[in-house]
Amino acid sequence: MQRYRGGAFIEHGFSTIISCAKMGENCMINQQVTIGWKSIIGNNVKIRTGAFIKDRVVISNDVIIGAGAVVIRDVPPHSIVVGTPARVIKTRNSESEPWIEIS
């Protein structure tokens, strides 16, 4: 995976609204994403097309937010979340490990 050290990589930023208080390194954001006021985004986070992150939500490090997900609660590190409301479907202990499905 290519690393974008420093800030965010906004891919196809059409209709993307970012109002977060802090954004970590190596974040990738697709189009039509809304990040609510005073939310905190960790390092190595991918936010896919059409995702919505509510105000004051903390997205931890090494997280993937699926397309169209509605995130209304904090997201733990090393997680993949999808759905409305978003729920964790996969997790891992570190970035070097494979994803494990949550049953």
* Neighbour count for residue 26 (Cβ, 10 Å): 20
**pTM for this entry:** 0.89
Over the stretch 26-56, which tens digit does the pLDDT of each residue have?
Answer: 999 999 999 999 999 999 999 999 999 999 9
pLDDT band at 2 (very low <50, low <70, confident <90, very high): low
Nearest-10 Cα torsion for 24, 97, 89, 28? 30
Q: How far apart are the two ends of the chain, measured CA to CA in Å?
A: 27
Tell me what the mean pLDDT of segment 67-88 comes to.
98
CA-CA distance, 53 to 101, in Å (whole number)? 23
Tell me what the mean pLDDT of segment 74-82 comes to.
98
Burial of residue 72 (number of CB atoms within 10 Å: 0-12, 13-18, 19+): middle
